[in-house]
Structure 1
Amino acid sequence: MKNIILTGTSSGIGYALALQFANAGHQVLAISRKTPKILIEHPNVSCLAIDLSDEKQLDKVTHFISSTWKHVDALIHNAGSLILKPFEELTQADFEKVYQINVFAVANLTRICLPYLQKGSHVVTISSMGGIQGSLKFAGLAAYSSSKGAVITLSELLAEEYKEKGISFNVLALGAVQTEMLEEAFPGYQAPIQASEMADYIYNFTLTGNKYFNGKVLQVSSTNP
């Protein structure tokens, strides 16, 4: 059984994924601003209420790992922030808000976990087809899509930097998935994939994908985007 750190567990893919890992017997550290009661009560889940945009709050993660687990087998960066606005209306504050969650928190949490990652550990970053060069883009997502492109490059760089330690870094660029974030941004839009279905894919990839991939970006989408 593995020690799994997962962000963005209050709903959608992250919530379904946390339950799937926990129900399979793995130990899960669920990180989100709000924590569903079922995760709090699950014997295999430890919950930390953290605002990922506040770097100081990540000290809670360091304390938990050092005092409880001692090592981390997998880290899944699933939390995301999305602002839908025409580019001419986007402010620097808007960009900073999105990048704090989608980029800076990914970098900060990875850095915190590095001393506890070991040979065979797998870091999975959830990106988007919007961050893939040449893919069809949704108008109004300049901050979101550019941030998702940034973490792709970051993951590729980390895979190279830490390959000698046997730590794998991979990215899953997801297409449209029926989540609360999608529904809020695009009311009425129906994605072809449910959150639980995508969680199942990410679950298996996290446990086995690093046997076949490192520093790679896999496009997980049945549509364009």
Structure 2
Amino acid sequence: MANIIITGSSRGIGFELAKLFADDGHRVLALSRNDAPISDLQHPNIVSFSFDLSKIPDLKKLEAFLRSDFETVDILINNAGKLLNQPFLETDMEAFEAIYRVNVFGVAAITKIVLPNMPKNGHVVTISSMGGVQGSMKFPGLSAYSSSKGAVITLTELWAEEFKETGPSFNVLALGAVQTEMLEEAFPGYQAPLTALEMATYIKDFALTGQKFYNGKLLQVSSSTP
């Protein structure tokens, strides 16, 4: 059984992922700013605490937990994300930077903390978006969000190259539309073709086995084109 860290676990895909892994007997550290939904599960295989990956004290709290409880981390799933749907000219730089603090700098910070605890066959899976894929369909209002999701695609490629001799493996999944609370907040009334549970099931299987087949790869998990 694996030790797994999942960020953004209070709702949507992250919440479903934590339950799926834990139900299969894996030990899960589920991190989110609001840990009440996960804590309320009282699942014996899930540990959680309130965590904001853009705040240094919370990153230090994670470091302490790894020293005392999670000496080895087999899988890290960078799932936490922040979305802003707002015209570019109406977006002040503080709001723009807030997206990057979570979606890019936070992903880099937590990955840097966890990497020394990961074995060669470990797997870092970062959740991106089709909006961050070069040449994909783009939507007005998502300048900050989609560009940040493009950044973590490139980060994944760079990490895979830098750690190709020692491991772990790094891959990034660019998701299409999934019916989550975050999607509903950004696009009220839009109906996505996949549920959070359906996508979480796919991500779980990929996180457990994908490193055998891929490293430094972007996989587009979407039924739409381009």
2:20 match: secondary structure: helix
Question: Given that residues 124 and 172 in structure 1 are in contact (C-alpha distance below 8 angstroms), is that contact kept between their aligned partners in structure 2?
Answer: yes
Change (3 A) 1:36 1:224: farther
Q: Distance in 2 between matches of 1:43 and 1:28?
A: 10
Matches within 5 A, 1:149-168: 149-168=150-169
Match of 2:84 in 1: 83
Name the counterpart of 2:3. Answer: 3
Question: Deviation at 1:223?
Answer: 1.7
- Letter matched to residue 183 of structure 1: E
1:17 alignment counterpart: 17
CA RMSD of aligned residues (A): 1.0
Q: Check the 8 A contact 2:29/2:46 in 1, yes or no.
A: yes
For 1:202, the aligned partner's letter is I
For residue 37 of structure 1, report the CA deviation from its aligned partner: 4.2
| CA contact 2:133–2:174 (8 Å) conserved in 1 | yes
Q: Please report the TM-score for the alignment, with normalisation by the length of structure 1.
A: 0.97
**What's 2:28 paired with?**
28
Letter in 2 for 1:91: D
Offset of 1:88 from its aligned partner? 0.8
CA distance in 1, matches of 2:150, 2:38: 33
TM-fit CA distance, 1:166:
2.4
Contact 1:175-1:224 at 8 Å conserved across structures? no
Question: Retained in 2: the 8 A contact 1:155–1:170?
Answer: yes
Query: Amino acid of the residue matched to residue 162 of structure 1?
Result: F
Is the CA contact 2:30–2:38 (under 8 Å) kept in the aligned structure 1?
no
Give 1:16-165 correspondences, 5 Å limit: 16-40=16-40, 41-165=42-166
Aligned to 1:169: 170
Q: 1:129, 1:219 within 8 Å by CA — same for their partners in 2? A: yes
- The CA deviation string for residues 122-174 of structure 1, in whole angstroms up to 9 with x for no partner, is 00000000000000011100000000000000010000001111210000000
* Identity fraction in percent: 61
Number of residue-to-residue matches in the alignment: 225
Partners of 1:3 and 1:224 lie apart in 2 by 35
Q: Cα distance, 1:36 vs. partner?
A: 3.6
Alpha-carbon distance, 1:218 to partner: 0.1
Secondary structure at the residue paired with 1:97? helix
Is 1:212 aligned with 2:213?
Answer: yes
- The Cα of 1:66 is off from its aligned counterpart by 1.1
Structure 1 residues without counterparts, runs of 5 or longer: none
List, as ranges, runs of 4+ consecutive aligned residues in structure 1 with deviation greater than 3 Å. 36-40
- CA change 1:102–1:37 in 2 (3 A) is closer
Question: Aligned pair in 2 of structure 1 residues 69, 172: CA closer, same or farther (>3 Å)?
Answer: same
Distance 1:38 1:48 in 2: 9
Write the distance in 2 (CA, Å) between the matches of 1:56 and 1:103: 18
Alpha-carbon distance, 1:56 to partner:
2.6
Q: Give distance in 1, aligned partners of 2:54 and 2:93.
A: 15
| Secondary structure at 1:43 match in 2 | coil
Distance 1:190 1:37 in 2: 24
